[in-house]
A and B are shown apart, each in its own frame.
Chain A
Amino acid sequence: SQTIHQWPATLVQPVGSPLSLECTVEGTSNPNLYWYRQAAGRGLQLLFYSVGIGQISSEVPQNLSASRPQDRQFILSSKKLLLSDSGFYLCAWSEDRVTEAFFGQGTRLTVV
Chain B
Amino acid sequence: KNEVEQSPQNLTAQEGEFITINCSYSVGISALHWLQQHPGGGIVSLFMLSSGKKKHGRLIATINIQEKHSSLHITASHPRDSAVYICAVRSYYGGSQGNLIFGKGTKLSVKP
Contact = CB atoms under 8 A, between A and B. Distances in A.
Interface in A29-76: 32, 34, 36, 41-46, 49, 51, 57, 59
Interface residues on A, range: 20 to 34
Contacts of B42: 103, 105-106
Interface stretch (B10-18, B57-65, B70-78, B99-107): B99-107
Nearest to B41: A106
A103 B88 CA distance: 13
A97 B35 contact: no
A98 B98 contact: yes
B88 A97 contact: no
Interface residues of B, number: 26
A100 B48 contact: yes
A9 to B, nearest CB: 7
Contacts, number: 75
Contacts of A44: 86, 88, 100, 102
Interface in A68-112: 88, 90, 92, 94, 96-98, 100-106, 108
Contacts of A96: 97-98
Given A34-B99, A51-B97, A97-B97, A103 B44 contact: yes
Contacts of B90: 97-98, 101
B43 interface: yes
Contact of B35 (A88, A94, A103, A105): A103
A100 B33 contact: yes
B9 to A, nearest CB: 10
11 contacts: A9-B41, A43-B2, A46-B96, A46-B100, A57-B97, A97-B97, A98-B31, A100-B48, A101-B88, A101-B98, A106-B43
